[in-house]
Structure 1
């Protein structure tokens, strides 16, 4: 490696920031007649890619509470949110000023029990209930795909995700 290339690499490392933290909800339901597991996906506002509800930390709210709040604001869903994270995934977020920043999303399962007719981002996003296999095909982030597959397997085995659940706030 040339001295100039090494210097450039060192400077990049010095200015690299750790990923920004976000919290997301893996929203799911079981069909009443068949018991089939469905995942809720929605489109992002900027690129239209398929994502899960997620957002930035909020003062005075625990991480799983933020995930539940984002699920309601972005998709109009309420339900029972797990207090223990399923896992996390990373992605690059494009900010309004055009800067790309790395984000790490801690993901919490949310069993949907209620669908609101009116919510903050209604009409801004497309929402779809899909099978886990379809969700894996639609999302871009490999770590999120892996989380969906792990969740699907847990649900197939009917193993409890966590001993503690909390009803999402209104």
Structure 2
């Protein structure tokens, strides 16, 4: 094996799947655009030790999407390639938590850098590129005990 071969370390992140129950009783999911590539994604970020996994996910939902609410136990994980501004790109695995949105702010830290939008789970699944995240979004209503 070449000395130049290096294993790529998978980095851990935590994310939120902000959701609400629409007036028709169906689950709706909020996605945000990424800053660099403007792809649709769930709010996510690097661990914040003092907040723990769920607290980190909730903080990211506030900073990136301008939402606050009630978090629940993790509903899955997905991986993606994070394009780094400096240094090599990183493979990240994101553990995701549902976040029942109770407050949608008009102003939030990353408002000028991102777009946010509500989707039905199937639409959200079609909007993201990561296969494991697509599956999480498709099964979200069932994960929440709201049928298929």
Band of TM-score, shorter chain = over 0.9
1:147 alignment partner in structure 2: 136
Moved over 6 A (4+): none
State the aligned residue count.
147
RMSD: 1.6
Give the greater-gyration-radius structure (CA). Answer: 1
Map 1:78-157 → 2, pairs under 5 A: 78-82=68-72, 84-97=73-86, 99-155=88-144, 156-157=146-147
What are structure 1's unaligned runs of at least 5 residues? 1-6, 159-170
TM-score, reference length from structure 2: 0.93
C-alpha distance in 2, partners of 1:63/1:99?
A: 25
Distance (whole Å) between structure 2 residues aligned to residue 153 and residue 61 of structure 1: 28
Give ranges in structure 2 of 5+ residues lacking alignment.
none
Bigger helix share: 1
- Tell me if structure 1 keeps the 8 A contact 2:16–2:98: yes
**What corresponds to 1:43 in structure 2?**
33
Q: CA deviation at 1:11?
A: 4.8
Structure 2 partner of 1:55:
45
Mapped to 2, the partners of 1:87 and 1:11 lie a distance apart of 34
